Structure 1
Amino acid sequence: ILAKFGHTDSDYFRLLGRNLPVLEQRTLTDKGIFYTSGGLSRAERELAAAVTSKINGCIYCASVHARKASQLSKDNAAVERLLAVEPGQSLSSGQSPRWQAGIDFAAALSVTPPAVTPGHLAELERQGLDTLAQLDLVQSAAFFAWANRLMLTLGEPSLP
């Protein structure tokens, strides 16, 4: 299963590989959230994963998903602004209105306890996110809240 999904060198996936049905379902869930058509753009789904990971302090996941958001959106400067934000500061400062709404929502969903308000949903709607796009945003953030917590149990990532 690890080789099938290309994850033989990852501590995270080797941990999940101790229970192959869980690894398989996790991978299918990931693909279902990030690779389906319609709804939120793939770049914005990756952005939500990066925001959630930044909130949770998972630097490895934040960097991986920020890189994907940058590649897919072709807006490296916006993603760099997000990554440069110091703890306690607004993650959405200097972003486009649509990205501000998505970032603010993902961040509010990711803190403990969650701080999402009807105002967050109203702003998503003002920025053109329909129900399916909002669901994609929730799923992207929620999936990475879970993934971050598992990744963080493995300790600091080692760099090659």
Structure 2
Amino acid sequence: MSTTLGSTLPDDRPHPERFTRADVGWTPHLTPLAEEELSDRHRDGLVDAGRAKSDYFRLLARDPEVLKARTLVDKDIFYNTAEGLPRADRELSATAASRRNGCVFCASVHSRFAAHFSKRADDVDRLLDEGVTTELGERWDAVVSASVALTDTPSAFGETDIERLRAAGLDDLEIADVVHGAAFFNWANRLMLSLGRAVAPA
């Protein structure tokens, strides 16, 4: 029998004590669909078959058309790197938004990618440890600053932020990628923080 959406899931596993690149877990406040409940419509919404193992995506699969649209946007922002911003900087933008919003889970995922693609693990760790005002070099500082401006008050992001990004060497397409990465994760953080909470690494 299907579990109702109103069912809550108590979970006493500890919260993470800090931001980290380690493998942070996530536990939902509401009951996700069970794998055996997933219909062809749900699986189409997941886009990737492997996401059926994730509590988060099985929870979002309760509205599969919206989940599919969300996932395709996510993939286009981060994986469509033939032009525009390098993958490392896209991941940095998402990490900065997640760090600012306090989403430990998203920050852990995207900081791992940022460190991997940039080969600047020490700088990524400083961003996690010290926060979004730490100095990482002008290009990364400009990306982080723009991402934070979009995260705090999107309408406050404007000409000054764009001029700083241009001065750091970014062209218009790269600037658009900074905006997309930060804007998407500004929204995604709030969704994850509303539907569940991070769990400390094992």
- TM-score of the two chains, using structure 1 as the length reference: 0.90
Partner of 1:74: 119
Is 1:7 the counterpart of 2:79? The answer is no
CA shift at 1:155, angstroms? 2.8
**Does the 8 Å contact 2:91/2:113 carry over to 1?**
yes
Aligned equivalents of 2:74, 2:107: Cα separation in 1? 16
CA shift at 1:64, angstroms? 0.7
Rate the CA distance shift 1:69–1:5 in 2: closer, same or farther, 3 A. Answer: farther
Q: What amino acid sits opposite 1:142 in the alignment?
A: A
Choose from 155, 159, 162 the match for 1:121. Answer: 162
Aligned length: 156
Partner of 2:104: 59
Aligned equivalents of 2:47, 2:159: Cα separation in 1? 43
CA shift at 1:3, angstroms? 7.6
Specify every segment of 5 or more residues in structure 2 that has no aligned partner in the other structure, as ranges.
1-42
Partner of 1:101: 142
Partner of 2:176: 135
Aligned equivalents of 2:48, 2:176: Cα separation in 1? 29
Specify every segment of 5 or more residues in structure 1 that has no aligned partner in the other structure, as ranges.
none
Rate the CA distance shift 1:20–1:38 in 2: closer, same or farther, 3 A. Answer: same
**Does the 8 Å contact 2:47/2:71 carry over to 1?**
no
Secondary structure at 1:156 match in 2: strand
- Please say which structure displays the higher CA radius of gyration: 2
Aligned equivalents of 1:150, 1:95: Cα separation in 2? 28
The residue correspondences of 1:21-60 to structure 2 (distance < 5 A) are 21-36=65-80, 37-60=82-105
Choose from 173, 181, 193 the match for 1:152. Answer: 193
Rate the CA distance shift 1:3–1:112 in 2: closer, same or farther, 3 A. Answer: closer
CA shift at 1:145, angstroms? 1.0
**Does the 8 Å contact 1:105/1:116 carry over to 2?**
yes
CA shift at 1:146, angstroms? 1.1
Identity %: 47
